[in-house]
Amino acid sequence: MPPTSPSPPTHDEAEQLAASLRTVPLLQEVGDGTLSTLIDAGERRSLEAGEALIEEGAAGDSLYFILRGEVEIFRLDPESGREHRIAEAAGGEIVGEVALLDDGLRTASVRAAVEGTEVFGVAIDRFKALGREDVAVAQLELALARRVAGFFRAATAAQVEALEGQRRESALRAQETEARVEMGEFLVRTVAGIALYIFVLGMASSLVSVLPSATLVGLPILLGFAALVAVFIRGSRFTARELGITLDGAGSELVAALLWSLPLVGVLLVAKAAMIQWLPGGSEERLLDLGRHHDMSTGLFLAMGLLATVLTPVQEFVTRSGVQAPLSRYLGGGSGAWKAIAVAGLLFSATHMHVSARMAIAVFPLGIYWGWMFHRRRSLVGVSVSHLLIANIGFLVVGFDGFLR
């Protein structure tokens, strides 16, 4: 409701009202004469807590300068019928100024938040009429219009930011959904591959004793796993670099493989010495046994060495690129990376069960070590070279065959 035609305030009341209006930033530079004109055109009003000043949906016929206290601004939710507080305003601020721009209905309700809230209201028609007569009031009207335009710009920017936030949130949810789907596919393929491995292993285990090398048994199994991993990679969102399939920095990887393999050579020698000392029949073994494979023809010996050289990178490809790298991405860093290393180590260990349980147990720590190396370097080159080097030293130089079969 617009202010009623007010009775002129007394001189003292006018001075007090002028001092209160000076607290409004837009009125601080207004001349005394213009301010006096505004005071004569408006009305001072005192509100009780909760009393309505503006009702949503009512005609926008006045604006209010808040002199003291605080008001709350509410909007009605048309679906639920509930009001939601959207803002608040205190002494020195203005409400209802949107009515200067159009004759539309009020878009929000304004109520006093505290007892004794005081406002000074001016009817829009009177305010505009004063603007046509007083340049200072016209400038004030322009300043109020700019203020409203600033509010609209801020509201538009906030809405755009909110929409952008919703877009980002939707994109994040879509990525999470894709990751869950990909993780599900990864688990399906991994479980299916392991089941297939166990099935084939059971069928092929009887061949170990009749073939010159267990490698000939593991070869088709390993190639089958590698084929499954290759299919998975082709249909995944992983890059080759993420899976360690790269030759970038191959030279430094070779140097790192040699340096990081030295501690393992020492561990092999210590382990062999301990076996000789404490295991039954160990006294018959030698610490270094270069002639263990003297009964194997030179051609077969070289062929087996070449086969191992080719298959070692394939084995690391299956273990690191097919299991560890995807799991590490799904589980995240920190403990998740170590979980991925442990799972890959278990799979690496299980792929040696066709040789013997002792062999599977013995290579598990090596699998963990190479998994850590892969996590640090993210390249198959280093772990493959280290794997090949340690395998050759372990079986051709140190000679663990007798203990692990």
**159 to 79, 149, 173: CA distances (angstroms):** 20, 15, 21
Length of the chain (residues): 405
Tens of pLDDT along 186-242? 777 777 776 776 677 666 666 655 555 555 666 677 777 788 778 877 777 788 888
Dig out the tokens for 329 from the structure.
Answer: 């991405």
pLDDT for position 150: 80
Rounded to whole angstroms, how far apart are CA atoms 269 and 397?
10
Q: What integer is the mean pLDDT of 113-125?
A: 93
Tens of pLDDT along 306-315? 777 888 888 8
Q: Name the more confident of 340 and 358.
A: 340
Amino acid at 347: L
Largest CA distance in the chain: 124
Which helix (H) or strand (E) element contains residue 402?
Answer: helix 401-404
Rg of the chain on CA atoms, in Å: 41
pLDDT band, residue 342 (cuts 50/70/90)? very high
Rounded to whole angstroms, how far apart are CA atoms 292 and 288?
9
pLDDT for position 402: 61
pLDDT for position 270: 85
Which domains, ranges and CATH numbers included, belong to the chain? 11-161 (2.60.120.10), 208-404 (no CATH)
Backbone φ and ψ of 59, nearest 5°: -65, 140
Residue 323 contacts by C-beta under 8 Å, 6 or more apart in sequence?
190, 340, 343, 344, 347
pTM for the whole thing? 0.55
pLDDT band, residue 362 (cuts 50/70/90)? confident
**What end-to-end distance do the CA atoms of the chain give, in Å?**
98
Burial group, residue 239, by CB count within 10 angstroms (0-12, 13-18, 19+): exposed
Q: How many CB atoms lie within 10 A of CB 282?
A: 15
Burial group, residue 332, by CB count within 10 angstroms (0-12, 13-18, 19+): exposed
Q: Which residues of 187-218 are buried (b: 16+ CB within 10 A; e: fewer)?
A: eebbeebeeebeebbeebeeebeeeebbbebb
pLDDT for position 345: 92
Q: HSE (CB half, 13 Å, CA atoms) of 338?
A: 2
pLDDT band, residue 26 (cuts 50/70/90)? confident
Tens of pLDDT along 380-398? 999 999 999 888 887 777 7
